[in-house]
Amino acid sequence: DTGVSQDPRHKITKRGQNVTFRCDPISEHNRLYWYRQTLGQGPEFLTYFQNEAQLEKSRLLSDRFSAERPKGSFSTLEIQRTEQGDSAMYLCASSFGANQETQYFGPGTRLLVL
């Protein structure tokens, strides 16, 4: 396993711009999760997929946020019209099968909105 990968690792953008992050889960992991972590806080759940189906969305996921997993493999998280409050670390995790309680995390994408 190569682990969960995320791209980019860092993103600086201006307020009002759109950004998109990508997550590649561990191969054959059917569940994929997105979390957001602000400075000094624990991660907060945003959404998760089983294969291509989005099973749950947090109320944190405003209408400016959208996530997709079109072929049940990689996932993208898009933030439209970014705001300074969107500055955070965006973490992706994946899990699989009989051990699906265990989520394996990627290194995260750190977003700074100026």
Partner 1 sequence: AQSVTQLDSQVPVFEEAPVELRCNYSSSVSVYLFWYVQYPNQGLQLLLKYLSGSTLVKGINGFEAEFNKSQTSFHLRKPSVHISDTAEYFCAVQRTSGSRLTFGEGTQLTVNP
Q: Which is nearer to partner 1, 22 or 110 (CB)?
A: 110
**Among residues 58, 48, 56, 57, which one has the least CA distance to residue 23?**
48
DSSP-derived pairing of the beta strands 109-113 and 10-13: parallel
Write the binding mask 36 to 75 for partner 1: x where contact by CB under 8 A, - elsewhere: ----xxxxxx--x-x-----x-x-----------------
> CB within 8 A of 109, min separation 6: which ones?
6, 7, 8, 9, 10, 11, 21, 89, 90
Q: Which is nearer to partner 1, 36 or 86 (CB)?
A: 36
Binding site for partner 1 (CB under 8 A): 4, 31, 33, 35, 40-45, 48, 50, 56, 58, 91, 93, 95, 100-108, 110
